[in-house]
Amino acid sequence: MGRALIATRMGFREQRRRGLLLVLLVTVPVLFITWSFAITEPVPRAISLPGGALSLTDMQQIHGAIMVPITVGFLTGLLGLFIVSSALESDRRLVVAGFRPVEVVVPRLLVLAAGAILVTLVSIGVTTIDFTPASWGPFVTGNLLSALIYGLIGGIAGVMFGQMGAVYFMFFLPMMDFGVAQNPMFFEGTPQGWAQLLPAYGPTRVLIDGAFSPGFEATGGVILALAWLSGLTLVLVVLLTRSAQRGRHGS
């Protein structure tokens, strides 16, 4: 336990040293989200909410609301990718030095979760300048789930594709998933059938419900998002444990 705490503290210290990263994690949400509100026309738009109700809103409000998960998905995806891929080698050495795999894997997940929470809070804070969701709980929950899910996807991509392939993947996937497939600005306000197969479907339905409805009808979205979160956590833990054990077995 003591060694896991040390590894966690070192993981946080490593991130704190990266001044430019912290600046970007704050400025990117501020600029992206504020600017999205500024450039979008308030064209009227009806969108479908979880539970089947229709809500009449406008493109500016939708763009502002959907820019939060686009931003957090994009940022935490890259964050997860680099937290994991930059630590693979050092974690193997720690295992050779006597750490158990769990003592190096858990700290990485904690740093990743902390990064996801930070980015989500900054992004939601910025959004409140121009937009007030109808219901805060689902809006915050949906965005936090988006951040955690994409942080894990970034980590998995970092292990599976190598740093460069994973960067291309994480430039592309959040943009397509949140920005196109789940975005109520397109497809007449309702995600198409294929969008339900993507990881952002559940959390986006939750946050869209929170953004535009005072009630809560997105239980299915929460369950789906939690299923993705559990499955992805399991996959990443298995991949990181295997990678760390390679240090122990010397292969």
Partner 1 sequence: MSGSTPITGYFLIEQIRNRSTVAMLVAIPILFVVVSADVLSEFASALGGSVAGSSAAALGAGWAAAFLAGALGFFQIASSRDADRRLALAGLAPIRLAVARINASLVLGIVVSLLAFATLWLRVGVTHPLHTLAAILMFAVIYIGIGTLVGSFVSGPLEGSLAVAFIFLIDAFSGPGMSASDGISRLMPTREAADLLIAAGAGRTSPTGDWLTVVATAAVALVVSSFAFWFSARPRR
Q: Does 12 bind partner 1 (CB under 8 A)?
A: no
> By C-alpha distance, which of 32, 76, 85, 41 is closest to 59?
41
C-beta closer to partner 1: residue 14 or 217: 14
Measure the CA–CA gap between 216 and 171, rounded to whole angstroms: 32
Q: Does 20 bind partner 1 (CB under 8 A)?
A: yes
> By C-alpha distance, which of 234, 184, 240 is closest to 44?
184
Calculate the dihedral angle through the C-alpha atoms of 156, 221, 25, 88, rounding to the nearest 10 degrees.
-10
In sequence order, which residues have a C-beta less than 8 Å from that of residue 62 and are 6 or more positions away?
45, 47, 183, 184, 185
Among 153, 167, 198, 237, binds partner 1 (CB under 8 A): 167
Measure the CA–CA gap between 209 and 135, rounded to whole angstroms: 8
Between residue 118 and residue 157, which ones bind partner 1 under the rule CB under 8 A?
A: none
Closest separation in Å from C-beta 241 to partner 1: 21
Q: Does 96 bind partner 1 (CB under 8 A)?
A: no
In sequence order, which residues have a C-beta less than 8 Å from that of residue 73 and are 6 or more positions away?
146, 147, 149, 150, 174, 177, 178, 200
Closest separation in Å from C-beta 124 to partner 1: 19
Closest separation in Å from C-beta 131 to partner 1: 15
**CB under 8 A: which stretch of 49-57, 96-104, 161-169, 202-210 binds partner 1?**
161-169
Closest separation in Å from C-beta 215 to partner 1: 27
Binding site for partner 1 (CB under 8 A): 18, 20-21, 24, 28, 31-32, 35, 39-41, 43, 59, 63, 74-75, 78-79, 81-82, 86, 160-169, 171-172, 176, 180-181, 183, 185-187
